[in-house]
Amino acid sequence: MSEAYVLTAEARERVGKGSARAIRRNGKIPAVIYGDNKEPISIILPYKEVAMKVYGGGFLTTVAEVELDGKKHRVLPKSYDLDPVRDFIIHVDFLRVSAKTEVTVNIPVHFANEEDCPGIRKGGVLNTVRHEVEVHCPADAIPEYFTADLAGLELGDAIKISSITLPANVHPTITDRDFTIATIAAPAGLKSDQDDEAEEAAADEVEVIGEEEETTEAEGGEE
> Rounded CA gap, 19 and 43, in Å?
12
Of 77, 97, 117, which one is at a domain's C-terminal end? 97
Query: For residue 123, what are the domain limits?
Result: 103-222
Q: Are residues 52 and 109 in the same domain?
A: no
Q: Which amino acid is at 95?
A: L
Q: Which CATH number belongs to the domain containing residue 184 in this structure?
A: 2.170.120.20
Same domain, 85 and 130: no
Domain boundary among 34, 66, 97: 97
Total domains present in the chain: 2
Structure-derived torsion over alpha carbons of residues 88, 93, 99, 100, reported in degrees to the nearest 10 = -140
Co-location of 111 and 208 in the same domain: yes
Paired strand residues for 81: 91
Is 18:78 a contact under the CB 8 Å cutoff? Answer: no
Q: Of the residues 97, 113, 131, which one is the last residue of a structural domain?
A: 97
Hey, what amino acid is at 124?
G
CA distance 133 to 182: 12
pTM of the model: 0.76
Which CATH number characterizes residue 31's domain? 2.40.240.10
pLDDT by residue for the chain (223 residues), tens only, comes to 667 899 999 999 888 889 999 999 999 999 999 998 899 999 999 999 999 999 998 999 999 999 999 999 999 999 999 998 888 999 999 999 988 899 999 999 999 999 999 999 999 999 999 999 999 999 989 999 999 999 999 999 999 999 999 998 999 999 999 999 999 998 876 655 555 555 565 556 655 666 555 555 555 443 3
CA distance 81 to 115: 39
